[in-house]
Structure 1
C-alpha cells in the first residue's frame, strides 16, 4: 500500500510548486523595467520552483518516506523564502516605493497567503499533525473562499471596462464569495458547537455549488482570452492559473465530503 504521507506530500508539492513558479512570473511582469533587482529575484524564484516541480515528478508513491520528508524540508525553505520576497514587495508598494508598477497590493498579499499556506502544509505533513476533520473543513474553506473572492476581484479589475457584462459577473461573484467567507468565519467563531455533521455537510454543499459556478466562469473567460475574443489585460496563463485553483478547491471539498460521510458511518 502506498504511504499516505508520501502521496499527500507529492500532491501538495506538484500543485503548489507550479503555482509559486507562476506567481514569480506574474510578479515579474508587474514590475517596472528599472526594477532590475526585483526582476532578477523573481526570475530566480521561477527557476527554483520549476526545479522543485520537475524533481517532484521523479518520485513515486512508493518512494521512501524519509526521502520525501527531506524533500519537504527543502521545499519548505523555498516556500518560506518566496513568502518573504512577496511580503517585501508588498511593503515597497504600500510605501509608494514602486510607483507606476502593475502589481496590485491585494494581489501580492494574495500570493503571499498562498505561499504561507504551502509552507504550513509541508510543516504539518512532516510533523504528522494534520488537523482533525471538522477543523480542517472550516479552516480550508475559510482560506479558499477568500482566495476565490480575490480572484473575482482581480478578474473584474483586469477586464477592459468596456466588457461590461463580464465585469458585472465578476463583481457579482466577488460579492457572493465575500458573503460565503463571512458565513465561514461565523461558523469558525462558533466552534466547536458548530461542528456537527449536518452543518458541515450543508456548508460543503453550499460552497460546492458556488465554486462550480465560479470555476465555469473562469473556464469561459480563459477560453475567450485564449481566442482573443474579449478585451482585457489578463495574461492567458493567469486565466488558467485561477481556473486550476478553483478546480483544486472543488477537489478538496469533494474529499472532505467523502471523509465526512465515512466518519458518520
Structure 2
C-alpha cells in the first residue's frame, strides 16, 4: 500500500490544480478567439497557439502516474507557470486593446479581466506549491473566498447579459445571484480587512457554511441552465461549452468549501 507523505501531497495537489486549470486556460483561449473580429488575425493566431499549449499541458498532467517522482512535478510546475505567465500577459494586452477602443468584437472588458484574474490565481498557486508556502488554514479560507466569490458574481453578470431578454425568469434569477454574490463578496472583504482578529473558528465556520449554501444554489442554477442550453430549450447566445465551463468552476469552489468545512471541524 502506498505511504501517504508530504511528497505525495505535493504531487497530488499539483496535478489536481493543473488538470483543472489547464482545461480552464485552454477554454479561455477559445472563448477569446470567438470574441475577436475576423480581421484580428494575429490575436486569433495567438489564441489558437495558447489553446494548443494548454491542451498539451492538460494531456501531460493526465498522463502522469500516481507514483511519479516529485522532482518531475516540480519541473512540470515551473513549465506550466511560464505558460500561465504568458497567457496572463496576453489577456491583459487584449484588455488594454479593448478599453482603448483599438479592437472591437464581443469580448466584454470585465470578461477579459475575469479570465486574467484566474490566470494570476493559477500562477500564484503553482508558486505556492513549488515553494511550499501554502496559506495557513485561516488565511486560505478568507483568500479563497474573496477570489471565488468575485468569480461567481462575475459569472452571474455574464449569464444575465448573454441570455435572451425574453427569458425573463432566468434573467431575473441571474440578476439576483449577481446581487447576492456581490453582498457575499463585500462580507468576505470586510472579514479580510479585520484580519487577524476576525480569524476565529466560530466566525470562519459560519462564513464557510453561509457561502456553501449560496454556492450550491448557484451551482444548481448553472447546471439547469447548462442542460437547457444543451437541449436548445432556452434562448441565449451562451455556447454550451461556456455554460459547462462556469458550472465546473462553481463545482470546484464548492469542493474547496467542503474541504474547508472538514479542516475547520478538525482544527484545534
Please give the range of the TM-score, normalised by the shorter of the 2 chains.
Answer: over 0.9
The alpha-carbon deviation at position 58 of structure 1 amounts to: 1.3
Structure 1 stretches (4+) deviating beyond 4 angstroms? none
Q: Distance in 2 between matches of 1:113 and 1:204?
A: 22
Query: What secondary structure is seen at the aligned counterpart in 1 of 2:238?
Result: coil
Once residues 9 and 62 of structure 2 are traced to their aligned partners in structure 1, the CA distance between those partners, rounded to angstroms, is 17
Work out whether 1:253 is the aligned partner of 2:257.
yes
Partner SS, residue 23 of structure 2? helix
Counterparts of residues 163-242 of structure 1 (less than 5 Å): 163-242=167-246
- Determine whether 1:104 maps to 2:108: yes
1:131, distance to aligned residue in structure 2 (A): 0.6
| CA shift for structure 1 position 235 | 0.6
Question: With structure 2 as the length reference, what TM-score do the two structures score?
Answer: 0.97
1:34 is aligned to 39
Residue by residue over 1:107-138, the C-alpha shift from the partner in whole angstroms, topping out at 9 and shown as x without a partner, is 00000000000000001000000011000000
Which 5+ residue runs of structure 2 have no aligned equivalent? none
Alignment equivalent of 1:88, drawn from 71, 88, 93: 93
Distance 2:198 2:153 in 1: 23
Instruction: Say which SS state the counterpart of residue 267 (structure 2) adopts.
Output: helix
For 2:65 and 2:193, the matched residues in 1 are separated by: 40
Residue 50 of structure 1 is aligned with which of 48, 55, 59? 55
Q: 1:124, 1:9 → 2: CA distance?
A: 10
Which position in structure 2 is the counterpart of 1:8?
13
Query: 1:131 is matched with which residue?
Result: 135
- The TM-score, its normalising length taken from structure 1, stands at 0.98
Unmatched tracts of structure 1, length 5 or more = none
Instruction: Measure the CA separation in 2 of the matches of 1:60 and 1:138.
Output: 33
RMSD: 0.6
Matched residues in 1 for 2:164 and 2:98: separation? 23
